[in-house]
Amino acid sequence: MLQTKKPTERPNILGGLGGWLWLAAIILPIYFIVITAFRDRVDLNQSNPLVPPAEPTLANFVRVIENDFFHFFFNSVVVTAATVAVVLIVSLMASYYIARSMSGGGQRLFSLILLGIAIPVQATIIPVYYLIRSLGLYDTLWALILPQIAFAIPLSVLIIVNFVRDIPNELFESMRVDGAGEWRILTSLVLPMAKPALMTVGIYQALQVWNGFLFPLILTQSREVRVLPLSLWEYQGEFAADIPATLAAVVLSAVPLLVAYILGRRYIVAGLTAGFGK
Amino acid sequence: MTQTVAQSAEEISDGAPQVQRDGAMRQSRQGPSFLMALPAVLFFGIFALIPLLGVLVLSFMSWDGLGSPEFIGLDNWVRMFERDQTMSSLWLTFVFVVICFVFQAPVALLLGVFMAGAQRYRALLSVLFFLPLLFSSVAVGITFQQLFSPNYGISSALPFDWLPSQWLGNPDIALYVVVFVVGWCFVPFHSLLYQAGVRQIPVSLYEAATIDGAGRVRQFFSITLPQLRYTAITSSTLMLVGSLTYFDLVFVLTQGGPGSATRILPLDMYISGFRNYDMGGASVLAVILVAVGLTLSLLLNKISGSSKMESDKAGM
């Protein structure tokens, strides 16, 4: 299935040119972040921004780390892990119901959830803010976890349903005949068959939550519960004219994902698209 | 089939367990119970559906974000529609969505097709093309803000006089700069979708076309493009609805400025609600946003027919 196109005889000059051009557009900003993060903040104004610093320094990273970086990092890990775990479990269960329910309830629920994909998160932020305040959850990590689970469900269900639907009927029937209840069918048939979809959903939603900015901006306030993206925004204020420290924070915030990417690139790229291409 | 018959025969012969068996039989006809879907329904209902209705309710109320909301009828709606900013934000949002699409879609498609090629260097480029996905919107926003800053950015780094010193500060080009940065963030993801799409096209189609003497351009338009239509629908939907509600990057890059040159609807809503403490007015803008978003999705849905239940649908 994954056959690749054979290289054509004539080299594709135009395509190659475009590819390298886009590469330049991609790399230049990243190069800029990295070299600036190592630049001494004193010689910032005397130097050309695109020439690497003559004497690279780690001082900017130290300043960022001394400003509670690891605390914010830990908050992000907690929020992302909790959100993704719950999303995977409840979406898988709901997808099983939707794909296998013969009563029409599944189809109705699916339509409702598809509607959810079209709901812009931004548009509901004011009532979510009201709700979170009323529940007494404002400025807690719960305020970030609960709504993000809800908004991750529609797309997750859509992707997983496509996989669960393709499981042959006979497999379900034979498990039932063997006396398996719905929980056993869920864990020993649906779960393994939906694994590619779960990978896609897990990676996609983890990226979304890890990088999410709107919910933290509106639903949290104190340093205690600050997550990484918000901390970058706050660093920019705190460090005011300290561009190297701000960009050092940017570099540090991308390191975990970069490491994950280096270790599991094939997995991540294939996982991201497996569910969508279905 | 034989087993089912045997089972029902057993049921008739037994007395007491019949009810239980009967339950199990019905289940096999009806599928899993609704309890399976309940947790997802609860989360989705409480934190997504109720807020969706809540935003409509709040649009008829006056609320400063702290006290308790008070019902004031249509006042917010009248006020927001008499305000010039509402119309200009709406128009700006439309322009933003269109330019975002016109810029991103062709680049993502061409890059995706290019990345799907078998050459070594293309594989290497693909690895690097992915990198923007590792940065959060805030990180990207901060980076480009510095890169385009008049004091310490590319304008001061490169010896070209014709480069403007103001990018994000210039109301005439700020929106285009924002669109470029949005593309920088999201083109990688969409080109991955297209790359995956191209790799599923059977090689035999290309071989046959080559034998028939079709060139590369001809092959692209007659094979690649038609074969990618489902990928294109998925990608376009995500792209259009995504840029309609785009907030993070624009917020970090320009805060809607200079003046209101990049004050698209989601940003206008945020500023009205959380800066000017007019949650009622902001809710009116939110309702408009929902209405436009739903209309757009329904239209796209009509075109693609992706809500159908058939499992052979290759749509999203």
Model pTM score: 0.82
Hey, what are A245's tokens? 């420290």
Residue-wise pLDDT for B91-150, tens only, equals 999 999 999 999 999 999 999 888 888 777 777 888 888 889 889 889 999 999 888 887
User: What is the mean predicted confidence (pLDDT) over A9-15?
Assistant: 69
Pick among B44, B203, B239 to test the A interface (most A CBs inside 10 A): B44
Please give the radius of gyration of chain A, using alpha carbons only, rounded to the nearest integer.
23
Say whether A211 and B137 touch across the interface (CB within 8 A): yes
**Is B143 in contact with B258 (CB distance < 8 Å)?**
no
What angle is formed at CA B225 by the lines to CA B219 and CA B231, rounded to 5 degrees?
A: 145
**What per-residue string of b and e applies to A22-31 under the rule 16 or more CB within 10 Å gives b?**
beeebeebbe
Residue B215: predicted pLDDT: 81
Residue B89: predicted pLDDT: 92
User: What is the mean predicted confidence (pLDDT) over B53-65?
Assistant: 91
**Is A52 in contact with A35 (CB distance < 8 Å)?**
yes
Smallest CA–CA distance, residue A214 to chain B, in Å, is: 7
pLDDT band at A11 (very low <50, low <70, confident <90, very high): low
Say whether A250 and B143 touch across the interface (CB within 8 A): yes
Residue B30: predicted pLDDT: 55
**Alpha carbons B204 and B112: distance in angstroms, whole number:** 20
Q: Considering the domain boundaries, does residue B65 fall inside one?
A: no
Question: What is chain B written as a DSSP string?
Answer: -HHHHHHHHHHHH-STTHHHHHHHHHHHHH-S-GGGTHHHHHHHIIIIIHHHHHHHHHTTEE--SSS--EE-TTHHHHHHHHSHHHHHHHHHHHHHHHHHHHHHHHHHHHHHHHHTS--HHHHHHHHHHTGGGGS-HHHHHHHHHHHT-SSSSHHHHS--TTS-S-STT-TTTHHHHHHHHHHHHHHHHHHHHHHHHHHTS-HHHHHHHHHTT--HHHHIIIIIHHHTHHHHHHHHHHHHHHHHT--HHHHHHTTT-STTTT--HHHHHHIIIIIS--HHHHHHHHHHHHHHHHHHHHHHHHHHTTT---TT----
**What per-residue string of b and e applies to B242-261 under the rule 16 or more CB within 10 Å gives b?**
bbbbbbbbbbbbbebeeebb
Comparing CA positions, the residue from A81, A276, A160 lying closest to residue B37 is A160
Question: Scanning every residue of chain A, which has its alpha carbon at the shortest distance from the alpha carbon of B231?
Answer: A277
User: What is the mean predicted confidence (pLDDT) over A187-215?
Assistant: 89
Residue A220: predicted pLDDT: 94
**Is A176 in contact with A135 (CB distance < 8 Å)?**
no
**Is B157 in contact with B243 (CB distance < 8 Å)?**
no
**Is A102 in contact with A167 (CB distance < 8 Å)?**
no
**Alpha carbons A83 and A257: distance in angstroms, whole number:** 17
Say whether B134 and A1 touch across the interface (CB within 8 A): no
Hey, what are B313's tokens? 């649908």
User: What is the mean predicted confidence (pLDDT) over A14-20?
Assistant: 82
Task: Specify the CATH number of the domain A69-234+245-277.
Answer: 1.10.3720.10
Pick among A130, A227, A272 to test the B interface (most B CBs inside 10 A): A130
Residue B17: predicted pLDDT: 40
Domain-by-domain residue ranges, chain A? 15-57, 69-234+245-277
**Alpha carbons B221 and B228: distance in angstroms, whole number:** 11
B11 pLDDT higher than 70: no
Residue B55: predicted pLDDT: 93
Higher-confidence residue of A63 and A45: namely: A63
Q: Considering the domain boundaries, does residue B69 fall inside one?
A: no
User: Which residues from A are below 8 Å from B314, CB to CB?
Assistant: 278
**Alpha carbons A97 and B33: distance in angstroms, whole number:** 7
A2 pLDDT higher than 70: no
Comparing CA positions, the residue from B293, B264, B299 lying closest to residue A117 is B293
Strand partners, B62: B70
pLDDT band at B171 (very low <50, low <70, confident <90, very high): confident
User: What is the mean predicted confidence (pLDDT) over B251-265?
Assistant: 87
Residue entry with tokens 């803010």: A129
Hey, what are A105's tokens? 């309830």
B42 pLDDT higher than 70: yes
**Alpha carbons B121 and A16: distance in angstroms, whole number:** 9
User: What is the mean predicted confidence (pLDDT) over B80-91?
Assistant: 90
User: What is the mean predicted confidence (pLDDT) over A50-67?
Assistant: 85
**Alpha carbons A63 and A245: distance in angstroms, whole number:** 7
Residue A10: predicted pLDDT: 61
User: What share of chain A in percent tops pLDDT 70?
Assistant: 92
Smallest CA–CA distance, residue A258 to chain B, in Å, is: 6
ipTM above 0.95, yes or no: no
Is A118 an 8 Å CB contact of chain B? yes
Residue B161: predicted pLDDT: 67
Q: Considering the domain boundaries, does residue B145 fall inside one?
A: yes
Smallest CA–CA distance, residue B99 to chain A, in Å, is: 18
**Alpha carbons B170 and B178: distance in angstroms, whole number:** 12
Structural domain tally of chain B?
A: 1
Comparing CA positions, the residue from B187, B206, B205, B296 lying closest to residue A117 is B296
Residue-wise pLDDT for A99-129, tens only, equals 888 777 888 888 888 878 777 888 899 999 9
Comparing CA positions, the residue from A121, A150, A116, A217 lying closest to residue B55 is A121
B1 pLDDT higher than 90: no
**Alpha carbons B100 and B42: distance in angstroms, whole number:** 35
Residue-wise pLDDT for A231-255, tens only, equals 998 888 777 678 888 899 999 998 8
Residue A82: predicted pLDDT: 97
Pick among A5, A102, A220, A251 to test the B interface (most B CBs inside 10 A): A5
Higher-confidence residue of B15 and B116: namely: B116
Find the domain containing B241 and state its range: 75-304
Hey, what are A217's tokens? 């901006």
For chain A, where are the alpha helices, taking DSSP H only?
A: 13-37, 59-66, 69-100, 105-118, 125-134, 142-165, 169-177, 182-185, 191-193, 195-211, 214-219, 228-238, 243-263, 265-277
**Is A74 in contact with A226 (CB distance < 8 Å)?**
no
Longest pairwise C-alpha distance within chain B = 95
User: Which residues from A are below 8 Å from B196, CB to CB?
Assistant: 273-274, 276-277
Please give the radius of gyration of chain B, using alpha carbons only, rounded to the nearest integer.
27
User: What is the mean predicted confidence (pLDDT) over B240-261?
Assistant: 85
User: What is the mean predicted confidence (pLDDT) over B225-240?
Assistant: 84
Longest pairwise C-alpha distance within chain A = 78
Strand partners, B314: none
CATH code (residue B245): 1.10.3720.10
**Alpha carbons A63 and A37: distance in angstroms, whole number:** 11
Angle between helices A265-277 and A243-263 (to 10 degrees): 80
Comparing CA positions, the residue from B222, B228, B217 lying closest to residue B190 is B228
User: What is the mean predicted confidence (pLDDT) over A252-278?
Assistant: 76
Higher-confidence residue of A13 and B178: namely: B178
